[in-house]
Amino acid sequence: MMGMLHRREVDVAIGPFGVTLARIAVADFSQPITATDHAILYPRPQIDPDLMGFIKPFTLPVWGLVLASLVLVTITVLALHALTPENVYGSTEVRRLGGGEGATRVMAGLWMLVTVIIAEVYCSNLKAMLIVPKVKIPFDGLEGMVKQTVIPWTMAHGSIVQSYFESAYNDDPTSTMGRVWAGRAPLMRSAEAIIPTVIGGTAGMYTRHSSTYLMGLDFSQVRWCRLALTRGGYMAVQHSMGFPLGSPLRPVIDDMVYRLMEFGLMNKFISSAMINTSYCIQPPGSEGIQDLRPLAVGDFLGVFSLYGAGVVASALAFAGEVLVARPGAGNRH
């Protein structure tokens, strides 16, 4: 469309266009209609079952301390039991009086009390994690995007985003913007392809206003949020209508744009076009938080795996005891 303006094939191009130095050299532009920045549109993270979710209420150091205390208490109880008078002296009188087991009972009772407290804290934390699950956001800006390797990114061919990052790469390939250009996926042939591109798993770099509009449009069609937008932005830009150089229509359109801006009509038009975006612009994981998430099979796979490992270990221990206790097993040489 900029080529058509430059060749004077049209009198005005609605656009709106992002105003850059290169475009000013070949066309005139009206007063700014909107001012916004650019953001990153990416597939919205979803809450998925977590195989290891049952261990997340405690950190690994806490689990290590619980295991170490279990081993220590077990060794202490066995030692106290071995050192009781009836085991040391073989006295039936001591056993008859019931003495010698007090220390073992105290140690076991204290461990049971501690176990109840740990179990209650574990259950409370696990319940909170299930009721208010957290969603891991892959990135929230350019720096985070270039550091991760899971989600590729792209931009529209011929857009000001392309020229901006390509120039940054030519100036300094090691800069954040240079690395964005170097690590990009194949460019989109048009901005209209951004929704299927992002839904397909590739982040798109677009203006914040346009990205917000696309989120609302997609929500209106499918009735749930499939897209997310980073809070961190980059490259502020003004959008205007375009004219051939020296066009007499520019002063007339400037006066109309000025009046629309003065009366707040332009902001009203933009807001009315984004009526369905308020739900989707919430951070991923916060939408619909009042509804409890039904637990899936994947939420229990970790517990079932631990239970299965315990059953296998118990079966092996039982088999070992049977083999050791067989008649004559201890007399074989």
User: Does 333 score more than 50 pLDDT?
Assistant: no
The average pLDDT across 212-236 equals: 85
Q: Do 84 and 197 belong to one domain?
A: no
User: Does 86 score more than 60 pLDDT?
Assistant: no
Residue 324 lies in a domain: no
Place of tokens 């375009």: 242
Work out the number of other CB atoms within 10 angstroms of the CB of residue 255: 12
- Cβ–Cβ < 8 Å for 23, 260: no
The average pLDDT across 201-212 equals: 87
The average pLDDT across 198-207 equals: 89
The average pLDDT across 200-223 equals: 86
For residue 254, what pLDDT is reported? Answer: 84
Host domain of residue 63: 53-132
The average pLDDT across 316-324 equals: 82
Confidence of residue 296 (pLDDT cuts 50, 70, 90): low
- How far apart CA 111 and CA 117 sit, in angstroms, is 10
Higher pLDDT, 146 or 10: 146
- How far apart CA 194 and CA 43 sit, in angstroms, is 11
Place of tokens 């953001």: 39
pTM over 0.85? The answer is no
Q: Do 77 and 203 belong to one domain?
A: no
Q: Do 115 and 145 belong to one domain?
A: no
Q: Do 94 and 193 belong to one domain?
A: no
Q: Do 183 and 227 belong to one domain?
A: yes
Q: Do 13 and 159 belong to one domain?
A: yes
Ranges 38-52, 107-121, 170-184, most confident: 170-184
Number of folded domains that form the chain:
2
User: Does 152 score more than 90 pLDDT?
Assistant: yes
- Cβ–Cβ < 8 Å for 229, 40: yes
The average pLDDT across 84-109 equals: 59
- For 93-148, list the strands marked E by DSSP: none
CB-facing half-sphere around the CA of 236: CA atoms within 13 A: 3
- Cβ–Cβ < 8 Å for 18, 160: yes
For residue 261, what pLDDT is reported? Answer: 80
Higher pLDDT, 145 or 266: 145
Domain boundary, last residue among 73, 103, 132: 132
User: Does 170 score more than 60 pLDDT?
Assistant: yes
